[in-house]
Amino acid sequence: MTPDLQPFVISRTFDAPRDLVWKAHTQCEHLRHWWGPKGFKITDCKIDLRPGGTFLYGMQPVSGGDKIWGKFVYREIDEPEKLVFVVSFSDENAGITRHSMSSVWPLEIFGTSTFSEENGKTTVTVSWKPFNATEEEIDAFEAGRPSMMQGFGGTFDQFEEYLKTFD
């Protein structure tokens, strides 16, 4: 990792119990409804929720277009408080690939998601940092912070809407 680099961090509090928020982050039947940037839908989802296991997903623009694959390789699972993983773009066979629109985006990103509950509301905090990255990849990550903020903001918006279906 790059110890001197500040991670990208985004946090949001949801009006839902931690148990539901955890399940919605770790089960395909939930992730299919909200995961990914606005304008995309999950078309494929497989989860093996254990250290060394993966979350492999395919998503496609709602308007049509090429499918994009991604994967998480779980490093640590502390249910229902924390997920630690390495994120990458992928192919349908879980091979690591480059970002389709950036040849210098980090191949791997070290991620942590934490889930804390207070008064029936759950705060999700996501932290990402380049992993085994070159200087060029670190520069791309730094330049991509506004885009990540927008992308995760949209994903959290979709998650918030999905949680309303449980009222």
Rounded to the nearest 5°, which phi and psi values hold at 145? -55, -45
CATH class of 8-166: alpha beta
Q: pLDDT, tens digit, for every residue of 54-106?
A: 999 999 999 988 999 999 999 999 999 999 999 999 999 999 999 888 899 99
Rounded to the nearest 5°, which phi and psi values hold at 109? -130, 130
pTM (2 d.p.): 0.94
Question: Domain map of the chain by residue range?
Answer: 8-166
Question: Tokens for 6?
Answer: 């500040």
Helix axes 145-163, 135-143, angle to 10 degrees: 60
Q: pLDDT, tens digit, for every residue of 14-59?
A: 999 999 999 999 999 999 999 999 999 999 999 999 999 999 999 9
Q: For residue 8, give Cα distances in angstroms to 92, 153, 157, 165.
A: 27, 13, 18, 30
Kind of pairing between the strands at 96-97 and 108-118 = unpaired
